[in-house]
Amino acid sequence: MALPKLLRRFSVLIDLSHAFKVALWPTIKRIFHEPSLLFHPQTLSYIFMSHVWTFFAPYIDEHSAAEKAKVITPYAHGVVLDVGAGHGHNIKYLDSARVTKYVALEPNVLMHPEIRRAAGAAGLNEADGNLIILACGAEDTASILTSLEGYQPVDTIVSTLTLCSVPEPQRTIKSLVSDVLKPGGELLFFEHVQNPHPHVARWQRFWSPLWSKAFDGCRLDRPTHVWVQEIGGWEKEEVWGQDGESEDLLFLHRSGRFVKSA
Ligand SMILES: C[S@@+](CC[C@H](N)C(=O)[O-])C[C@H]1O[C@@H](n2cnc3c(N)ncnc32)[C@H](O)[C@@H]1O
């Protein structure tokens, strides 16, 4: 049932209350056992987010499945770098006949066991050399290139619901495309983005500082689809909205397929 307009502006509070309900107590317990964590806010954020994501990911993935299948399955090929792989939910959208190697970039190492499990179920593992898991952030392109020695530049970069979280997103997207993606390679994304309606965008800006605390840096107010377009140098570019989604949402989605000029 559609929520009345004003209530929709506060819908994030429901998600935030679920996030705190599932993640606060386990995080406090970890601090109790390891008080020095209080001096490591990024590690605490990873701990909190790993519990949040265990709760939210299956639901979010189910609701994104049609769009992810549309943007990933027909186009992802060769060496695929999944930026912010989370629990590896994107693996099931890969066409195994076209993908030679899956590189999961996930700075939150607490999520790595889930990536290994999902990859193993799809016949991908490190021992066979068709799975690589990297623990650096997307912004650290130098480390990505060093770790991918022999397999870079990559054929495909996939980002689903991640560009909202990376630091310095414009610089990061640009250097991923210029340094890590092959000429002729594809950048495929499915992201929640800044709403083009200024009144909704104002609410996105309002909630972002609080939201980013619970969801490890995720912001609601980033026009990442526009920033990708602005990089330029694309041979093909296509951006589209999610089927049946109202344009009035705080979480408005855009998918994109961009082919880098050869
Ligand atoms: C909302 S989750 C999406 C996970 C996955 N892409 C999916 O769609 O199921 C965002 C992910 O981005 C990761 N992330 C956060 N900061 C990042 C960074 N700087 N570089 C790469 N990934 C990052 C988080 O750890 C988290 O796993």
CA distance 76 to 74: 6
For ligand 1, the distance from its centroid to the CA atom of residue 85, given in whole angstroms, is 6
Tell me the domains of the chain and their CATH numbers: 64-260 (3.40.50.150)
Going by CA atoms, what residue is nearest to atom 13 of ligand 1?
A: 84
Using most ligand atoms within 8 A of CB, pick from 59, 60, 89, 162 the residue to mutate for ligand 1. Answer: 162
CA distance 128 to 131: 8
Average the pLDDT over 127-144 and give the result. Answer: 96
CB environment 38-55: b (16+ within 10 A), e (fewer): eeeeebebbbbbbbbbbe
Strand segments (E) across the chain: 78-83, 99-105, 131-134, 154-160, 181-193, 234-241, 252-260
CA distance 147 to 3: 47
Q: DSSP of 184-232, one letter per residue?
A: EEEEEEEEEE--SSHHHHHHHHHHHHHHHHHTTT--S---HHHHHHHH-
pLDDT, one tens digit per residue, over 48-76 is: 999 999 999 999 999 999 999 999 999 99
For ligand 1, the distance from its centroid to the CA atom of residue 4, given in whole angstroms, is 31
User: Of 99-108, 198-207, 241-250, which range is least confident?
Assistant: 241-250
pLDDT, one tens digit per residue, over 1-28 is: 556 777 788 889 999 999 999 999 999 9
* pLDDT given for residue 3 in this prediction: 63
Going by CA atoms, what residue is nearest to atom 4 of ligand 1?
A: 86
Pairing of strands 99-105, 78-83: parallel
